[in-house]
A and B are shown apart, each in its own frame.
Chain A
Amino acid sequence: MAGTAMGGTRRNPWAPWLLVAPGVLWLLAFYLLPTLALARTSVGPEGVAWYDGYQRAFTDYGQHLLRSFWYAGLATVLALLLGYPLAYVIAFRAGRAKNLLLGLVVLPFFTTFLVRTFAWKTILGDEGWLVGLLGTLHLLPSEGRLLSTTWAVIGGLTYNFLPFMILPIYVSLEKIDRRLTEAAQDLYCNALEAFRKVVLPLSLPGVFAGSLLTFIPAAGDFINAELLGSPNQKMLGSVIQGQFLTVRDYPLAAALSFVLMTIITILVLIYTRLLGTEELA
């Protein structure tokens, strides 16, 4: 490159197209086409009303839908409450330990999702020390156990998606120019006000991205509900898996997938409006 003039007069007009082509082809082959095939499946075989699967999705599995979004929402809020302070400390207060702490956040990912969730089965087990301790303190939920309860599933979701909350928030906090908070304090803000008026608004893109990265996969997740829940904690992901693999009612399973995707899209749009940010961290 040394010595080459980069005046930009002889740009290849095809360059942008060549650059996006692999991504576009990938999405076409592995996203758009399967989605279309799924849409075709969801309207069912000949002789059945096309909306049959969709109707049953709401009449038979309405409660699973509500449960999925309720669990995912709660897990997102919990992840935010746990993740924001942690990201804040890493970004502003960690000093030389910053890289170490970031590494620790990512470390659990070196083990697979499935194994980590299995580990929680051991930790939360009925004969485990945690249940024993909480039992002594009379803090157990009404079932008298932790595993196979709503709390275990929400806890598992929060745990598994927490890094997806922490990392984007960290990135947006890290970008903030420290002089802005100094300026706020020069203008008679106390530390809390400086945080509320300067740091928090500037970190919103991170909160936004983190919430989406947590909420969307959590709403469709089935591993946590399968391993840490009972049949009464089944989320929509489990139902879809069961309908595809066990019952083999493909139209219903495909319709459920579309309902899930549509509702997530609507929720994301509403959320975008409310938070009023176009920029992702």
Chain B
Amino acid sequence: MKRREPYDEQELQSLVRRALSRRQFLGRTALAAGGLALGSSFLAACGKKDGGAAADSTAAAAGGAKAINISNWPLYIDAKTVAEFTTATGIAANYTEDVNDNDEFFAKIDEPLKRGQSIDRDIVVLTDWMAGRLIKLGYTQAIPTGPFPNKANLVDNLSNVGFDPGRTHSVPWMSGMTGIAYNPKTLGRELTSINDIFDPKYKGKVTMLTEMRDTLGLVMLGMGKDPATCTLDDAKAACAKIKQARESGHIRRFTGNDYTDDLSAGNISIAIAWSGDIQGLAADSPDLVWLAPREGAMLYSDNMMIPKSSTNPDLAAAFMNYVYDPAHSAQIIAGAPYLSPVKGMGAELEKIDPALAKSPLVNPPDDLRARLHVFRWLEEAEETEVNKAFQDAIGA
């Protein structure tokens, strides 16, 4: 170096330029950008799995205070109802399909609700046993009856349940059956029994649900036990059977609703499946069928509840009122063929989709109804024990 004078600005700039050549600069920003991208995708992975009706969020924003947030399971509604509800009532509805598993969803909302914080939802839809837990924990508020006259349309056999006497804190969104979905064409045969899923021929091509009561209930039925009256030992024996099948590689995955992807892509041949999902896949995979095995199928209901943190209980009740109109219920069923809890839905469905109105998925015949089983209520200690055995069985 010749000069040892204080830097002037020009020299400083050229030094900086030399020290940080353009290429290096690119390399470094790229590295930083990479880190950012990864970070945000981790967040995305932790957050909601499926942005169901993202378009509605704009409507919700425009509606100001008259907006509600609804969390429901995927493939559980038709494409039009949410928008028509907004048109009819002026209440914007942000309908999100972010419930994929009862336990997972509970883990998400438990802490804030326990601390009295908001979960930013006005309606959540969870299965009977989890609904019972939420109500028992005081995480829900009473559903206002004023804006909900259609509650009178609730079918009789669901209007009074053990976990919510008088249905003050919950109303069924829909009921569904848990059985087996498969493709008879690729399998080359018709299945009839639950135990067909354990046939060694289908090794690595089978999925079961992470929903304990559904998977365990079906496997127990296959073992000749009734989940409505089973003992702890029955449940543990079923867990052992599942564990053995998992360890041998027979069971490929344990899933939430996402078994539908594997099934329609042909990655799996048989799935323990919910009755209404297969209709939703018909566009891509018309050959798939849902079967209630001869040993029986499981019956459950998913229930709408208003979290205690919701500040819009009246608007939430207005939504419930809307979907408890028989005609609106029929339209939802036409998009997601489960069992409607609304009286008079059948006659309305006859008008818009006569073929579906006769389908056993929507209107189970008496011999199928006779084979439907409900998992018995588990006391807390029992639940912990069975759940532990089940989580161990599925390798969670």
Query: Measuring CB to CB, which residues of chain A are less than 8 angstroms from any residue of chain B?
Result: 1-2, 5-7, 98-99, 102-103, 105-106, 109-110, 112-115, 121-122, 125-127, 143-145, 147-148, 163-164, 167-168, 170-171, 174, 217, 223, 230-232, 234, 238-239, 242-248
Contact = CB atoms under 8 A, between A and B. Distances in A.
Q: Please give me the 5 A-B residue pairs with the lowest Cβ-Cβ distance, nearest first.
A: A113-B41, A112-B41, A231-B395, A127-B266, A109-B37
10 contacts: A2-B9, A113-B41, A145-B267, A148-B252, A167-B27, A231-B254, A243-B396, A245-B104, A246-B210, A246-B391
B23 A106 contact: no
A5 B6 contact: yes
Given A122-B265, A242-B391, A102 B27 contact: yes
Given A99-B23, A248-B107, A231 B38 contact: no
B267 A127 contact: yes
Nearest to B387: A247
Given A127-B265, A246-B396, A248-B107, A230 B23 contact: no
Contact of B33 (A106, A127, A243): A106
B388 A223 contact: no
Contacts of B30: 102-103, 105-106, 167
A117 B8 CA distance: 52
A195 to B, nearest CB: 21
Given A127-B267, A231-B253, A246-B107, A110 B37 contact: yes
A223 B43 CA distance: 12
A113 B388 CA distance: 31
B26 interface: yes
A244 B107 contact: yes
B394 interface: yes
Contacts of A230: 204, 249, 251-253
B253 A6 contact: no
B13 to A, nearest CB: 10
A112 B265 CA distance: 22
A79 B47 CA distance: 29
A157 to B, nearest CB: 13
Contacts of A113: 37-38, 41-42, 44-45
Contacts of B267: 121, 125-127, 145, 147-148
B395 A171 contact: no
Nearest to A167: B31
A212 to B, nearest CB: 13
A99 B26 CA distance: 8
Contacts of B382: none
B157 interface: no
B34 interface: yes
Contacts of B251: 230-231
Given A125-B266, A167-B30, A246-B101, A112 B396 contact: no
Contacts of B252: 148, 230
B353 interface: no
B308 interface: no
A112 B37 contact: yes
Nearest to B391: A247
A139 B124 CA distance: 48
Given A125-B267, A126-B266, A231-B394, A98 B23 contact: yes
B45 A144 contact: no
Contacts of A143: 204, 249
B24 interface: yes
Nearest to B105: A245
A247 B388 contact: yes
A99 B29 CA distance: 13
A242 B387 CA distance: 13
A163 B33 CA distance: 11
A31 B31 CA distance: 22
B265 to A, nearest CB: 5
Contacts of B396: 231, 234, 238-239, 242-243, 246-247
B103 interface: yes
B247 interface: yes
Given A7-B6, A231-B246, A163 B34 contact: yes
Name the residue among B12, B45, B247 with the largest chain A CB count within 10 angstroms: B45
A248 to B, nearest CB: 6
B356 to A, nearest CB: 29
Contacts of A126: 205, 265-267
Nearest to A105: B30
Nearest to B110: A248
B106 to A, nearest CB: 8
B40 interface: yes
Contacts of B253: 148, 230-231
Contacts of A239: 396
A246 B107 CA distance: 7
Contacts of A223: 45
Nearest to B243: A231
A102 B24 CA distance: 11
Interface string B46-57: 000000000000
Given A7-B6, A232-B395, A248-B107, A174 B45 contact: no
B111 to A, nearest CB: 11
B41 A114 contact: yes
A248 B45 CA distance: 19
Given A102-B27, A171-B24, A125 B6 contact: no
Contacts of A5: 6
B103 A170 contact: no
B4 to A, nearest CB: 13
Name the residue among A2, A113, A163, A246 with the largest chain B CB count within 10 angstroms: A246
Given A126-B266, A230-B249, A1 B103 contact: no
A163 B38 CA distance: 11
Nearest to A246: B103
Contacts of A109: 33-34, 37-38
A131 to B, nearest CB: 10
Interface string B243-273: 0001101011110000001000111000000
Contacts of A246: 101, 103-104, 107, 210, 391, 396
